[in-house]
Structure 1
Amino acid sequence: MSNCDNCGERPSAKQKINCKGCSKAFHANCIKIQESQIQAYSSGEFIWLCDICSDKVTSSKNQLSPMADFETMSEIRDTLKAILDQQNHFIQKLEKHNTQINHLESKDLEHEAGIQENRENIEKLELKMKTIMEKNNILRQKCNKIQQNSMNNCLVVTGVPQPKNENVFLTTQFIGSALGMRLAESHIANSYRIQGTDRKYSNLIICFAKQSYRDEFLKCRKTKRDFSTKDLDISLKNLVREHNTIYVNEYLTAYNKNLFLKAKEYKNNNNIKYLWIKNGSIYMRKLEGTRAVLITSENDFHKI
Structure 2
Amino acid sequence: MIEGLAKNNAQLKTVLENQTSRMREVENDVDYLYSDFEGLHNSHNEEKIKREILAQALLKNSIEINGIPILPDENGLEIVQKLFKLIDVNLQISDVSSCYRQGKNPREFSNGNTLHPGLVVDSVRECDEHTLMANIKTLGKSISSTDLGILNDPPSSVFVNEKLTPYFKRIFFLARREKAAGKIKYVWTRNGLILA
Runs (5+) with no aligned partner, structure 2: 109-113
Question: Any conservation in 2 of the 1:194–1:204 contact (CA below 8 Å)?
Answer: yes
Please report how far the alpha carbon of residue 283 of structure 1 lies from its aligned counterpart in structure 2 after TM superposition: 1.8
Counterpart residue number, 2:195: 283
Classify the secondary structure of the residue corresponding to 1:163. coil
Please report how far the alpha carbon of residue 105 of structure 1 lies from its aligned counterpart in structure 2 after TM superposition: 1.3
Counterpart residue number, 1:259: 171
Give the TM-score, by structure 1 length. Answer: 0.58
Classify the secondary structure of the residue corresponding to 2:102. strand
Counterpart residue number, 2:41: 133
Whichever residue aligns with residue 219 of structure 1, its letter is A
Give the TM-score, by structure 2 length. Answer: 0.88
Does residue 175 in structure 1 map to residue 108 in structure 2?
Answer: no
Counterpart residue number, 1:188: 96
| Higher Cα Rg, which structure | 1
Runs (5+) with no aligned partner, structure 1: 1-92, 285-304
Q: Cα–Cα, structure 1 residues 105 and 268, in superposed 2: closer, same or farther, change >3 Å?
A: farther
Alpha-carbon distance between aligned partners in 2 of 1:182 and 1:170, rounded to the nearest angstrom: 15
Does residue 218 in structure 1 map to residue 133 in structure 2?
Answer: yes
Task: Percent identity, please.
Answer: 21
Alpha-carbon distance between aligned partners in 1 of 2:143 and 2:187, rounded to the nearest angstrom: 22
Q: How does 1:226-265 map to 2 (within 5 A)?
A: 226-233=142-149, 236=150, 238=151, 240-265=152-177
Question: Any conservation in 1 of the 2:81–2:93 contact (CA below 8 Å)?
Answer: no
Counterpart residue number, 2:59: 151
| Deviation larger for 129-138 or 199-208 | 199-208
Whichever residue aligns with residue 124 of structure 2, its letter is A
Alpha-carbon distance between aligned partners in 2 of 1:269 and 1:170, rounded to the nearest angstrom: 40
Whichever residue aligns with residue 146 of structure 2, its letter is K
> Which consecutive segments of 4 or more residues in structure 1 shift more than 3 A?
195-200, 266-270
* Count of matched residue pairs: 188
Q: How does 1:61-72 map to 2 (within 5 A)?
A: none
Alpha-carbon distance between aligned partners in 1 of 2:24 and 2:142, rounded to the nearest angstrom: 68
The Cα RMSD (Å) is 1.8
Whichever residue aligns with residue 127 of structure 2, its letter is S
Alpha-carbon distance between aligned partners in 2 of 1:111 and 1:266, rounded to the nearest angstrom: 53
Whichever residue aligns with residue 54 of structure 2, its letter is I
Question: Any conservation in 2 of the 1:221–1:227 contact (CA below 8 Å)?
Answer: no
Counterpart residue number, 1:119: 27
More contact order relative to length (CA 8 Å, sep ≥ 6)? 2
Alpha-carbon distance between aligned partners in 2 of 1:267 and 1:136, rounded to the nearest angstrom: 30
Superposed CA deviations along residues 185-209 of structure 1, whole A, max 9, x for unmatched, are: 3211111002376744221001111
Whichever residue aligns with residue 126 of structure 2, its letter is Q
